[in-house]
Amino acid sequence: MAKKTKLMTFTQDHDDTFSSKWVNLAEERLGTKVLFSTDDFFAEKENLIKPGRGIFIEDKFTDHGKWMDGWESRRKRTEGHDYVDLKLGLRGIIKGVDIDTNHFTGNQPLQASLEACCLTEGQKPADDTDWTELLPKISLGPGVQHLSQIDSKQEWSHVRLHIYPDGGVARLRIYGEVKTDWKKKDKAQLHDLVSVENGGRPLICSDMYFSHMDNLNAPGRGVNMGDGWETKRKRTPGNDWIILALGKRGTIAKVVLDTAHFKGNFPDRFSLEAVNLDEKQHDGLDAPNLNWGTLIPETFLEADKEHEFEEINKLGPVTHIRLNIFPDGGVSRLRTYGHIE
């Protein structure tokens, strides 16, 4: 594997142990909703799923007190504890949890635990919902990430975060494997096989100094230049690249590469390659002897534009793709539409 790039410019320093392996099923832009909390007097529950780790503005106050970028309940003066319910944006098998108390120092909860349930589409948690404990009580410290691995093979749609007895949490991230019901997909139709909503995932890249590779297959068009994958300026020979796993093995028939918002820093050219491997094979993908086939040869790009390609070299079913950009720059989104087997 290539040396992991330290993420410094587009986010605060953070432990990306889980985010480098799995998708954050509780990401706001994936459709996650914060449904209910017992109390969010000081800071709104919706902040839990915002991007980043949360910020701190020293002299910012509201009518309720100090403004905080997270979810914060008032001081508990009765029996019990506080909790919050979330509907995950994408259903999946939960592998890890990050309970981040960034900037909550002296007002963080003493402990937290996590439960989950799996409901049919459109259902909401009710009084008789059967919750399963995934994470027993853990102690929380001030201003840090709390990463906990989860041993579960079930699919989940909702989570409930308990805090004991009260306090503030900056962010909650639920990492796991997206579960797409491919049996319900029409094989005659084209599907975006690399989309995060279909289980696609960036695995490794040469560089992501300015913005994270996870943006490349996110839903919708990029909202600004930071909502894409951007490398630093190349000062050495060679070019930048990124490798992604498709959510399902398939034959690619159409590609869309979007340079939205990238005007003076879009790549001059690109090419797209693919390979057919064991779907779980994620190691050694950057090896020079891997037999990549060319889907789209080296082609010039334009600024701030959606580029559509339907003249695709026929390689048959593939599982992984490699986007090469020459020599460097930023790409907002990549879509690979194909037929599943």
The CATH number assigned to the domain holding 211 equals: 2.60.120.260
Q: Is residue 1 included in any domain, yes or no?
A: no
31 lies in the same domain as 170: yes
244 lies in the same domain as 284: yes
User: What integer pLDDT is reported at residue 341 of this predicted model?
Assistant: 84
In the predicted structure, residue 11 carries a pLDDT above the cut 60: no
In the predicted structure, residue 31 carries a pLDDT above the cut 60: yes
- Per the structure, the count of domains in the chain is 2
Structure tokens at 93: 């098998």
Residue after which a domain boundary falls, among 178, 213, 241: 178
Residue after which a domain boundary falls, among 155, 178, 201: 178
Phi first, then psi: give them for residue 5, nearest 5 degrees: -75, 135
Q: Is residue 135 included in any domain, yes or no?
A: yes
Q: Is residue 14 included in any domain, yes or no?
A: no
168 lies in the same domain as 213: no
Q: Is residue 13 included in any domain, yes or no?
A: no
112 lies in the same domain as 140: yes
148 lies in the same domain as 119: yes
pLDDT band at 131; cut points 50, 70, 90: very high
Q: How many whole angstroms separate alpha carbon 111 and alpha carbon 116?
A: 18
User: What integer pLDDT is reported at residue 10 of this predicted model?
Assistant: 37
Under a CB-based contact definition with an 8 Å cutoff, are residues 187 and 102 in contact? no
Closest CA to 175 of 306, 294, 30: 30
215 lies in the same domain as 152: no
pLDDT band at 19; cut points 50, 70, 90: confident
* pTM: predicted TM-score of the whole model, two decimal places: 0.89
Q: Is residue 3 included in any domain, yes or no?
A: no
166 lies in the same domain as 193: no
160 lies in the same domain as 226: no
In the predicted structure, residue 297 carries a pLDDT above the cut 90: yes
User: What integer pLDDT is reported at residue 275 of this predicted model?
Assistant: 96
205 lies in the same domain as 315: yes
User: What integer pLDDT is reported at residue 2 of this predicted model?
Assistant: 40
Would you give the DSSP letter of residue 129? -
Q: Is residue 10 included in any domain, yes or no?
A: no
Alpha helices (H) along 184-250: none
In the predicted structure, residue 307 carries a pLDDT above the cut 90: yes
In the predicted structure, residue 101 carries a pLDDT above the cut 90: yes
DSSP string, 160-172: EEEEES--EESEE
Q: Which residue has the higher pLDDT, 252 or 19?
A: 252
pLDDT band at 16; cut points 50, 70, 90: confident
User: What integer pLDDT is reported at residue 5 of this predicted model?
Assistant: 35
Q: Is residue 174 included in any domain, yes or no?
A: yes
CB within 8 A of 10, min separation 6: which ones?
210, 211, 212, 226
335 lies in the same domain as 201: yes
172 lies in the same domain as 190: no
User: What integer pLDDT is reported at residue 152 of this predicted model?
Assistant: 94
User: What integer pLDDT is reported at residue 8 of this predicted model?
Assistant: 32
Residue after which a domain boundary falls, among 178, 210, 240: 178
Average pLDDT over residues 89-97: 97
pLDDT band at 13; cut points 50, 70, 90: low
Average pLDDT over residues 180-204: 94
Q: How many whole angstroms separate alpha carbon 233 and alpha carbon 338?
A: 33
What domain range is 295 assigned to?
Answer: 182-340
220 lies in the same domain as 324: yes
User: What integer pLDDT is reported at residue 281 of this predicted model?
Assistant: 65
